[in-house]
Amino acid sequence: MAVAPGWLAAQACQRVLKRAFSLHKAHSIKDMENTFQLVKNIIPPLTSKKHKGQAGRIGIVGGCQEYTGAPYFAAISALKVGADLSHVFCTREAAPVIKSYSPELIVHPVLDSPDAVHEVEKWLPRLHALVVGPGLGREDALLKNVEGILEASKARAIPVVIDADGLWLIAQQPTLIQGYRKAVLTPNHVEFLRLLEAVLTDPVDSSDRRGAGLRLSQALGNVTVVQKGEQDVISDGEQVSALPSWLPLVRAPSQGSAATKPSRSTAAPPLPPT
Amino acid sequence: MAVAPGWLAAQACQRVLKRAFSLHKAHSIKDMENTFQLVKNIIPPLTSKKHKGQAGRIGIVGGCQEYTGAPYFAAISALKVGADLSHVFCTREAAPVIKSYSPELIVHPVLDSPDAVHEVEKWLPRLHALVVGPGLGREDALLKNVEGILEASKARAIPVVIDADGLWLIAQQPTLIQGYRKAVLTPNHVEFLRLLEAVLTDPVDSSDRRGAGLRLSQALGNVTVVQKGEQDVISDGEQVSALPSWLPLVRAPSQGSAATKPSRSTAAPPLPPT
């Protein structure tokens, strides 16, 4: 007898969902549905009443001689989860490469220019949020420019997500985001330990991830801290939540930065045909 | 009647396996299963307990004015078989091209810089293994830099796979890897003959691939020699094995360097969208 295509499609979807969760035994389809609902609440509905830009205009600060992949993943992921426009502010040399990954990005080769702060600042009135750090590197001149960009963003009360080498900068100068409640830090394990050491004067038991996250957030004046890991531990200095990451396990660069990159499977360029 | 999803999946898998072997009549599904098991034993399991980098950090030394594809295939293949991070150290001019093939690579435009050895050496403590030679070319200045990189890698006891024009360098200066048991040479037929001529003083019957491979390895102080071909003949100077290559037959660059590149069909960049 014939098998209805709809039935086959449903089976296929179920297989995909099951596979997505196969390495996360603790999760259920219900968990994923709850997560989808949360995400749905955040993302503006797609409607013909809106014009381009109203569903989100995001800026990424990063991309240098060595690193071009990380800012690309951050920028394209913003588009893939619903934002309308994604800008990358990177060095002159990194720009053509990042541009070449996707024609959907707007890439500004300004981060190593003498007036980098001004060049980024003039875009700030048009941006809803800034991600600082993916592929930034640790060159002094660039970090100096990022200091200025952070100050300008704070002056305009723009929400800032700080990741990767942006967190290296914060560990050197925690005052840069001290008390700025619109900052979200997204450290991995190593970055979290570095921040603890830089910010807390007393010793702290880092194996108590919830307690350590709460204390770090408090010491920084209630910036939100998202410790990435098997469980993402999130604190704003008042509450702590631990959420099992529902992302598929992936290797390679995108693995470390789930906070700004949904996953390699959704953000990477298409796989070659088989 | 209902068709069980498991049955459909099994049929699909069998079709894929059959297609993979369609050009290798002599092989069986059993061969491939054995190979998968070997590979599985080598690759660290994918687990949420690990953080980025623990499943492998690989460096590729190569990529010059003419050649950018070979180092890309070597680097992306490392990621595709399970490594977390893949670095390419190439010339300034080759870097933006290699970067643009994939945002998942970290590409360093340093191989023709005056302090190339230092620029690569500072990354060595973070790398688990180095592949030297894909797309390296034969320019004296680059080969001189690679000499320094090989010496620095030996000083840190880093495993080194030497392929392509890296083997040209070894044929000129066999002492560079003499007695370094963490070196693996992966010559094709022509490269193998060149090494035989450079290293062995007595004439040797190269048609006896097993005997010749054993002698070459012994003469080089037990570096591992993988002669690529219809059968891959592998020797560490003590034992010799001959393994039928289970890789799909392909033409073009990836054919010659199966040791560092699983196959073009798995490693090639995606086709442009249609």
CATH topology of domain A53-163: UDP-N-acetylmuramoyl-L-alanine:D-glutamate ligase (3.40.1190)
- Annotated binding-site residue? B190: yes
pLDDT of B36: 80
- pLDDT per residue over B72-124, tens digit each? 999 999 998 889 999 999 999 999 999 999 999 999 999 999 999 999 999 99
Q: Residues B103, A73: contact at Cβ < 8 Å?
A: yes
Q: Hey, what's the torsion of the CAs at B219, B223, B227, B233, to 10 degrees? A: 90
For chain B, domain boundaries: 53-163, 186-249
Average pLDDT in the A94-103 region? 97
Nearest-angstrom CA–CA distance, B122 and B208: 42
Looking at per-residue pLDDT, the higher value among A168 and B55 belongs to: A168
CA distance B97 to chain A (A): 8
Contact A15 B3 (CB under 8 A): no
Beta strand B57-61 with A240-244: parallel, antiparallel or unpaired?
unpaired
Q: Residues A173, A132: contact at Cβ < 8 Å?
A: no
Q: Residues B90, B62: contact at Cβ < 8 Å?
A: yes
Q: Is the pLDDT of residue B243 over 90?
A: no
- pLDDT per residue over A209-266, tens digit each? 999 999 999 999 999 999 998 889 999 999 999 887 655 565 444 333 433 444 333 3
Contact A251 B84 (CB under 8 A): yes
Residue of A nearest to B88 (CA): A66
- pLDDT per residue over B133-150, tens digit each? 999 999 999 999 999 999
Nearest-angstrom CA–CA distance, B254 and B69: 9
Tokens 């002056």, residue located: A155
Q: List, in sequence order, every residue forming a beta bridge with B87; answer none if it has no partner.
A: B59, B106
Tokens 């091209």, residue located: B97
- Give the DSSP H or E segment for A30: helix A29-42
Binding residues of A for (6S)-NADPHX, as ranges, are 135, 188-194
- Annotated binding-site residue? B104: no
Q: Residues B61, B244: contact at Cβ < 8 Å?
A: no
Cross-chain CB nearest to B99 (options A8, A68, A272): A68
- Annotated binding-site residue? B128: no
Residue of A nearest to B103 (CA): A69
B45 interaction partners in chain A (CB closer than 8 Å): none
Beta strand B129-132 with B160-162: parallel, antiparallel or unpaired?
parallel
pLDDT of B11: 53
B269 interaction partners in chain A (CB closer than 8 Å): 269, 272
Residue of B92, B99, B123 to mutate when probing chain A, most A C-beta within 10 A: B99
Q: Hey, what's the torsion of the CAs at A88, A94, A98, A99, to 10 degrees? A: 90
Measured CA distances, B38 to B33, B129, B248 (Å): 9, 19, 18
pLDDT of A264: 34
- pLDDT per residue over B32-79, tens digit each? 788 788 878 888 887 877 888 888 999 999 999 999 999 999 999 999
Residue of A255, A257, A261, A271 to mutate when probing chain B, most B C-beta within 10 A: A255
- Annotated binding-site residue? B36: no
Q: Which range, of A44-58, A142-156, A245-259, averages the lowest pLDDT?
A: A245-259
Nearest-angstrom CA–CA distance, A269 and A78: 14
Contact A251 B83 (CB under 8 A): yes
B9 interaction partners in chain A (CB closer than 8 Å): 15
B85 interaction partners in chain A (CB closer than 8 Å): 252-253
Q: Which two tokens stand for residue A35?
A: 């997560």
Find, among B128, B126, B41, the residue nearest to B78 by Cα.
B128
Contact B102 A69 (CB under 8 A): yes
Contact A230 B83 (CB under 8 A): no
B105 interaction partners in chain A (CB closer than 8 Å): 69
Nearest-angstrom CA–CA distance, A57 and A46: 15
Contact B104 A66 (CB under 8 A): no
Q: Hey, what's the torsion of the CAs at B267, B268, B272, B274, to 10 degrees? A: -80
Cross-chain CB nearest to B3 (options A3, A230, A255): A3
The percentage of chain B sitting over the pLDDT mark of 90, rounded to a whole number, equals: 65
ipTM: 0.77
What residues of chain B have any CB closer than 8 angstroms to a CB in chain A? 1, 3, 5, 8-9, 16, 46-49, 51-52, 55, 79, 82-86, 96, 99-100, 102-109, 265-266, 268-271, 273
CA distance B102 to chain A (A): 8
Contact B103 A73 (CB under 8 A): yes
Where are the extended beta strands (E) located within chain B? Answer: 57-61, 85-90, 106-109, 129-132, 160-162, 183-185, 224-227, 231-235, 240-244
Contact A255 B52 (CB under 8 A): yes
A68 interaction partners in chain B (CB closer than 8 Å): 99, 103, 107
